[in-house]
């Protein structure tokens, strides 16, 4: 186990998009971050990006870890597989001996545009396995570590979605799993109270990532039209997650909704 005064985080889905941006933001501000995802080369790219950002220097650093040296390590993990999740958290325990934050971010939209009555069961299972089973498995492993460690406690931030509130057309698997994450978040907030385990959720709308690439060319709206939608910079999500992460355990952002200001969500279209 390394002696390390920095805070320790696990970020799942750290090889791209929001997970990558959050991992870099945490590393930039002194956290040690374990990067998890299925594609090892994408995790290594994130680690290299963070090193480059750190080498450039970050005059704007204001995080509580600013000035400390955070380290990254990459653990190839499929979050839908219990054995791989167990190995991920065993690696965290072995290297750091504690865990302060899980950003439960890995997720998939599944096949877009498939009418409900035609959605194959395998496609449903894949989305549920990734978004819900994966989030459960990682949260449970993190929770056990946080309950056992001394000092006790930590924080879990689940990555929900605008789809935890309202569906897009033909998105039943994604929408159902993201609504389910809200239940996971609330249950862990309650069950974690005696152990100083805080749990919050970020619900994002249209951050520019691979997953939202199709927003730029046009996506199906509730009224049947196809429309281009505004997107926002993923760095704005990363800063929000860091703020949630760095609160003392006595305080918690229970739910944060961060979206492209002009996207069709509030109001009708």
Cβ(229)–Cβ(176) under 8 Å? no
Distance of CA 70 to the CA centre of its chain: 19
Bridge partners, 37 (sequence order): 76
Residue from the set 11, 50, 79, 132 that interacts with ligand NAP by CB under 6 A:
79
119 versus 249: smaller Cβ distance to ligand NAP: 119
Cβ(128)–Cβ(137) under 8 Å? no
108 versus 152: smaller Cβ distance to ligand NAP: 108
From residue 55, give the alpha-carbon distance in Å to each of 19, 29, 51, 62.
Answer: 21, 12, 6, 17
Name residue, tokens 């290594």.
Answer: 44
Token pair belonging to 239:
């800063």
Residue from the set 17, 63, 110, 200 that interacts with ligand NAP by CB under 6 A:
17
Write phi, then psi, for 199 (nearest 5 degrees). -135, 130
x/- track of binding to ligand NAP for residues 59-78 (CB under 6 A): ------------------xx
Q: Give the torsion sign (CA, 88, 161, 210, 55).
A: negative
Q: How far is the CB of 43 from ligand NAP (least distance, A)?
A: 8
Which residue among the candidates 121, 143, 174, 195 is catalytic per the annotation? 174
Residue from the set 23, 24, 99, 106 that interacts with ligand NAP by CB under 6 A:
106
165 versus 186: smaller Cβ distance to ligand NAP: 165
Catalytic site residue 195? no
For binding to ligand NAP (CB under 6 A), which residues are involved?
12-13, 15-19, 37-39, 42, 77-80, 105-108, 130, 134, 159, 161-162, 204-207, 209-212
């Amino acid at each position: 186990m390394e002696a390390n005064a920095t805070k320790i985080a696990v970020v799942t889905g750290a090889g791209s998009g929001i997970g990558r941006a959050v991992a870099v933001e945490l590393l930039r501000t002194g956290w040690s971050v374990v990067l998890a995802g299925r594609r090892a080369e994408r995790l290594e790219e994130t680690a290299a990006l963070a090193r480059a950002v750190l080498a450039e220097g970050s005059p704007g650093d204001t995080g509580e870890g600013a000035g400390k040296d955070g380290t990254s390590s990459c653990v190839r993990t499929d979050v839908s597989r219990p054995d791989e999740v167990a190995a991920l958290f065993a690696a965290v325990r072995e290297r750091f001996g504690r865990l302060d934050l899980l950003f439960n971010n890995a997720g998939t939209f599944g096949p877009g545009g498939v009418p409900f009555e035609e959605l194959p069961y395998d496609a449903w299972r894949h989305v549920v396995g990734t978004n819900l089973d994966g989030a459960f498995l990682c949260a449970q492993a993190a929770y056990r570590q946080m309950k056992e460690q001394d000092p006790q406690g930590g924080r879990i931030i689940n990555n929900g979605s605008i789809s935890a509130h309202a569906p897009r057309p033909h998105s039943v698997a994604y929408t159902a799993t993201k609504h389910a994450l809200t239940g996971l978040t609330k249950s862990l907030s309650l069950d974690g109270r005696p152990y100083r385990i805080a749990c919050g959720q970020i619900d994002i709308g249209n951050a520019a990532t691979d997953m939202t690439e199709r927003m730029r060319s046009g996506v199906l709206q509730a009224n049947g039209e196809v429309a281009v939608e505004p997107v926002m910079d993923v760095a704005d999500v990363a800063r929000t997650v860091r703020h949630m992460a760095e609160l003392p355990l006595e305080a918690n952002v229970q739910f944060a909704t961060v979206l492209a200001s002009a996207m069709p969500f509030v109001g009708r279209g």
